[in-house]
Amino acid sequence: MYIIIVGGGRLGYYLTKALLSEGHEVLIVEKNPTICQNINDELGSVCIRGDGCEAATLAEIGTARADMLIAVTGDDEDNLVACQVAKHKFNVPRTTARVRNPQNETIFKKLGIDVTVSSTNLILESIKEEVPTHPLTHLLTIRDQGLEIVEVKIPPDATTIGKPVKELSLPPGSRLALIIPKERKPRVPTSDTILRDGDRVIAVTTPESEEALRAVLRGT
């Protein structure tokens, strides 16, 4: 695939490295000449100096034949415009924007950006996960289906400890996919699997049922 990346910061740099190693054709557009030079010295000629929001620059690098454009600059408005120019002027089939302000995620969706990645939210989730009392962690969102994969930790005071899975009345659309006990191997739960203190339960659920699922698993 031909992938254009707007923004040669740390994210752009490592993303390019990863995509190149997967065999894709990648080109970075970066405003800062020093950053551009450094990337080219290190990764070969993969970075062009220019403004990725400018239609003229995007025309020059053959955006019309790009399969994807990923905008990962530090400014939300620049990412939005780069994606919109790519989409509406060059008909790029897939545009992805990094969003720093979580508030902008819904706005970007409404304005037609295919995929948004909120770096702030991702970092928040990862940090919250490390807080021992944090009840539920989002692992993955399957957007088109309205599903998400979450992890719920069973705390020592959960009233569900010692109960088999079949006694839990799971909310609609929720399924337990995997149980990872504290010191044993992960297993796929059956109706007779007993919940224990410290178990990490991986479940498929919907955003609406998330809260109910957490309550059912912890018995609170």
Partner 1 sequence: MKVVIMGCGRVGAQLAGLLDTDGHSVTILDTDAYSFRRLPSTFSGTALVGNGLNEEVLKKAGIEEADAFVALTQGDNRNVMASQIAKHIFNVPRVVCRIYDPLRQELYSTLGVEAFSPTTIFAQMLREKLES
Between 111 and 122, CB nearer to partner 1: 111
First CA to last CA distance, the chain? 49
Q: In degrees, to the nearest 5, what angle opens at C-alpha 44 toward C-alphas 46 and 96?
A: 25
Binding flag, residue 104, partner 1 (CB under 8 A): yes
Amino acid at 7: G
Q: How far is CA 1 from the centre of its chain?
A: 20
Helices (H) and strands (E) in the chain, counts: 7, 10
Decide: is 75 part of the binding site for partner 1 (CB under 8 A).
yes
Binding residue for partner 1, selected from 10, 65, 88, 166, defined by CB under 8 A: 88
Q: DSSP string spanning 156-198? A: TT-TTTT-BGGGS-PPTT-EEEEEE-SSS--B---TTPBP-TT
Considering beta carbons, is residue 92 or 204 the nearer one to partner 1? 92
What per-residue string of b and e applies to 114-145 under the rule 16 or more CB within 10 Å gives b?
Answer: bebebeebeeeeeeeeeeeeebbbbeeeeeee
Does position 32 interact with partner 1 (CB under 8 A)? The reply is no
Tell me the closest approach of the beta carbon of residue 30 to partner 1, in angstroms.
16
Told to check if 3 binds partner 1 by CB under 8 A, we report no
Q: Name which of 16 and 73 has its Cβ closer to partner 1.
A: 73
Does residue 83 contact residue 73 with C-beta atoms inside 8 Å? no
Closer to partner 1 at the Cβ: 48 or 81? 81
Instruction: State the minimum distance, in angstroms, from the CB of residue 78 to partner 1.
Output: 5
Stretch that binds partner 1, among 6-14, 26-34, 53-61, 148-156 (CB under 8 A): 53-61
Which of 80, 152, 176, 201 is close enough to bind partner 1 by CB under 8 A?
80
Region of 12-20, 24-32, 48-56, 121-129 interacting with partner 1 (CB under 8 A): 48-56
Q: Which residues, numbered 107-126, are part of the site for partner 1 (CB under 8 A)?
A: 107, 110-111
The count of other CB atoms within 10 Å of the CB of residue 147 is 16
- Give me the residues that bind partner 1 (CB under 8 A), please: 53-56, 75-78, 80-81, 84-85, 88-89, 101, 103-104, 107, 110-111
